Chain A
Amino acid sequence: MIIDINFIGLIIASIMASAVPLILASCGELITERSGVLNLGVEGMMIIGAISGFALMTVTGSLIIAIFGAMLAGVLISTIFAFLTQTLITNHVATGLALTIFGIGISAMIGKNFVGIPGKEFPVLFEALKDTMPLLGPILFGHSIVFYFAFALPFITSYFLKKTKIGLIVRAVGDSPESASNQGINVRLVRYACILYGGAMSGLAGAYLSMIYTPQWIENMTGGRGWIALALVVFSTWNPIKILIGAMIFGGLTIIQFHMQAIGVRIPVQFLTALPYIVTIIVLVVISRDSRKIRLSTPSSLGKSFHKDN
């Protein structure tokens, strides 16, 4: 059998494409969690982003409005979460779960009218360069702007947290909201901002699914990707670069097991489907075993409500 080198390039590109929503949602959730807030509503925010993006695209015909609208929708729904957990001091876990259930429900309701409508083609960049190089051509060129943004995001996130003052403040709030507050940092404001940012990224991840990856609306189309994104954040020990690695492994195994099923490998389908979940977690656990580093990057106040009293 002759394997076309460009075919391998295409497989790698498809793996990367399937990793995009995971990277976007994880990097957003990472910032939220680094400020000490555990938002389990990622799946809900993603699906809201997916339906909002698709609906706006169909109704307005504008891709730009659709993409930013999806992010805005993510922001809006995460505002509910922020108001509940930060202003009314509700429990993070329960509120996040409620957010997911709410998101899935309302997206199905809005989405009724959009089932079966074909999506639009999303413009890709550097299409012409795709054939100039074997292997690397299909990997590097001919993708949407969101794709490039997603692969830059872990590095931007890492730089933001390590090198900028605002990043430092986010980490400080996650480490000890009491100390931060005594230092004159407005903990609630920082946490609000981080939650809304996480919402925007989840919304974008959802829009990528319904507008670019598989341009159509199917009920419950996020299919648990929000939960995987959450798991990636934890198992990467809040390290954006490891999120990138984890998302690639997950995406890779998902694509490869499809191909394995297609060529009829004699392994039970259920096992193949479960494979990406298992392997991703094992790999991330193995590469994140330094307990000192875990201690240093784990936000100590994660999931704990902070209430300032005078």
Chain B
Amino acid sequence: MNTNLKISNVTKIYPGCVANDNVSLEFNSGKIYALLGENGAGKSTLVKILSGVIIPDEGKIYLNENNLKLNSPSDAKKNDIGMVFQHFNLFETLSVFENLIIDSDEQRESLREKIDTIMKKYNFSIDLDIPVLNLSAGQKQKVEIIRCLIRSPKVLIMDEPTSVLTEQETSELFLSLKKFSEEGILIIYITHKLKEVMQLCDEVAVMRRGKLVSVSEIKNENIESLANKMVGQNLKIIKKKKAKTSSDQLIKITNLNFTSEDPFETNLMDINFSVNRGECLGIAGISGNGQSELFQVLSGEIISEKNSIEFNNNYIGDLSPQERRGYLMAFSPEDRLEQAAIPQMKIFENVALNNFKSSNFFNNGLINENKIKEHSKKIISDFNVNTDNIELKSQFLSGGNLQKLIIGRELITSPDLLICFNPTWGLDVGAINYIHETLIRINEQNKSIILISTDTDELLKLSDKISVIHKGKLSKIMNAEEVTSEKLGILMGGAN
């Protein structure tokens, strides 16, 4: 049977922000629809309205011409709309089966049979009697999907489903979604990843700042055209100019080793490399191969031998991050909210955090708030952070804005070396572009970068030299022009 879902003139207004501005859309089963947009474009709000979690201020939803009243998640379920949330809605300490039976009216045995049938049909294999916290992210997502499938939904909504999945799990998910679609389930796929849209979907609706920008068929689009629609302007294609080869060595790592007591960490073995002024060294690798340990050793969170790190003719291996900053090094850690900033503190307070020594900010142990605020305002305007309220708690900044703030905070002291770890992780296209531009500009000012990243495209775009880390060992250092992403892929897998 054909399913038709119609969203008609939906509006949802939050204080200070129009999340959905008069959005109308129509979907038909048999196709996979992408709902594309940057963070904060309003796509999550829209699907939360469809799943009854959020009640719209205005507008109507029709399923097969019937006007739906979606006042709660159970209303959506009753009307055969299933949704898999970006943040899983599972009970970690309950078993898989308990998670599934909790909102089902069926008897234990018949439900178990039903689940078994579903798992066989789609080739899922999950132990129903272990607690959910023992499952991988991909398995948890399958539990969420099974939970929807039990109710044989007409509509299945997936909100940013691949953000926590590995490559392998992602391709498994795509296969399942295509199968569901063939069986007549209408699929709405929310994402900001353009590649996925091209790979999976048939039609794409683009949202920007709460408004619907365009609806089109995938075959008429390509990655660039979608990116431009999503951001709302023609994205400059950034290219790095070939740097002048400088032989002025800035940092040199010699025979650096790190042995961890934690079995879940990676030991670093015999790391040797050097970076010249104005150069960007990229370090590629599949995550968990020692990147975070390497970052910590370089930043001074982990202290190593004094002579193993030579920076600007000083041996600094045994110095703390604060002392290293004194030598004009700067750091941008991977986890913005856990490591780089304190989410509950205000923007200007976070700005002061990496600058305890500055006599500008602190006088005799007292905080000089005016100076800090002045400085923060400069960062916000120089680095294009999209807010004018420096009293805002950092947790309310979007990922992109927070990353700009962090990089800005580090760069405003004009350091000689910036070490960054996955600086564009989880950001949308516009923000990624901005960060990339900033990094290129640093190099142009004859300052250096060590870029540890799991994103190969990013590394190829920004690096002058590239090395690959695998199981705590660095490969030999290659010139970026000689490297292709295939070659990197092979090295990342551990081959020589």
List the interface of chain A (C-beta within 8 A of B).
165, 168-169, 171-172, 175-176, 178-185, 295-298, 300, 310
Contacts and interface: CB of A to CB of B under 8 A. Distances in A.
A310 B98 CA distance: 27
B54 A296 contact: no
Contacts of B103: 183-185
A263 B89 CA distance: 60
A184 B54 CA distance: 12
Contact of B73 (A172, A176, A184): A184
B91 interface: yes
A169 B131 CA distance: 15
Contacts of B91: 171-172, 175-176, 179-180
Contacts of A310: 54-55
A56 to B, nearest CB: 40
B55 A184 contact: no
Contact of A168 (B54, B55, B85, B98): B98
Nearest to B55: A310
Contacts of B9: none
Contact of A171 (B53, B88, B89, B94): B94
Q: Chain A interface secondary structure, helix, strand, loop or mixed?
A: helix
A184 B72 contact: yes
Nearest to A173: B91
B150 to A, nearest CB: 13
A119 B11 CA distance: 67
A295 B94 contact: no
Contacts of A175: 91-94
Q: What is the interface of chain B mostly: helix, strand, loop, or mixed?
A: loop
A172 B102 contact: yes
Interface in B77-109: 77, 85, 88-94, 98, 101-103
A164 B53 CA distance: 27
A296 B131 contact: yes
9 contacts: A165-B101, A171-B94, A176-B89, A179-B89, A183-B89, A184-B77, A185-B103, A295-B133, A298-B93
A182 B87 CA distance: 11
Nearest to B53: A182
Contacts of A172: 91, 94, 98, 102
A300 B131 CA distance: 14
Contacts of B53: 182
A134 to B, nearest CB: 46
Given A168-B102, A172-B102, A184-B77, A179 B90 contact: yes
Given A168-B101, A168-B102, A172-B102, A296 B89 contact: no
A47 to B, nearest CB: 33
A279 to B, nearest CB: 30
Contacts of B98: 168, 171-172
B287 interface: no
A64 B257 CA distance: 76
Contacts of A296: 93, 131, 133
A115 B74 CA distance: 54
Contacts of A168: 94, 98, 101-102
Given A168-B101, A310-B54, A182 B73 contact: yes
B154 to A, nearest CB: 18
Interface residues of B, number: 21
Interface string B105-142: 00000000000000000000000000101000000000
B92 A176 contact: yes
Contacts of A297: 93
A176 B88 CA distance: 11
Contacts of A300: 92-93
Contacts of B77: 184
A178 B94 contact: no
A165 B91 CA distance: 15
A295 B93 contact: yes
Interface in B404-434: none
Given A165-B102, A310-B55, 20 more contacts: A168-B102, A171-B94, A172-B91, A172-B94, A172-B98, A172-B102, A175-B92, A176-B89, A176-B90, A176-B92, A179-B88, A179-B90, A182-B53, A182-B85, A183-B73, A183-B89, A184-B103, A295-B93, A297-B93, A310-B54
Given A183-B102, A184-B72, A178 B89 contact: yes
Question: Considering residues A171, A175, A176, A180, which has the most beta carbons from chain B within 10 angstroms of its beta carbon?
Answer: A175
Nearest to A184: B74
B42 to A, nearest CB: 16
Nearest to B73: A184
A180 B131 CA distance: 16
Nearest to A296: B93
A217 to B, nearest CB: 42
Nearest to A162: B98
A171 B98 CA distance: 10
Interface string B37-78: 000000000000000011100000000000000001110010
Contacts of A180: 91
B86 to A, nearest CB: 12
Contacts of B72: 184
Nearest to B12: A310
B208 to A, nearest CB: 24
A298 B133 CA distance: 13
Contacts of B54: 310
Nearest to B77: A184
A295 B133 CA distance: 10
Nearest to A172: B91
Nearest to B131: A296
A169 B94 CA distance: 10
Nearest to B51: A182
Contacts of A184: 72-74, 77, 103
Contact of A169 (B55, B74, B85, B102): B102
Nearest to A176: B91
B396 to A, nearest CB: 15
Give the one of A165, A176, A184 with max B CB within 10 A: A184
A179 B133 CA distance: 14
Query: In this complex, which of B91, B94, B101 has the most chain A Cβ atoms within 10 angstroms of its Cβ?
Result: B91
A290 to B, nearest CB: 13
Contacts of A171: 91, 93-94, 98
A185 B53 CA distance: 12
A310 B15 CA distance: 12
Interface string B421-452: 00000000000000000000000000000000
A182 B89 contact: yes
A188 to B, nearest CB: 13
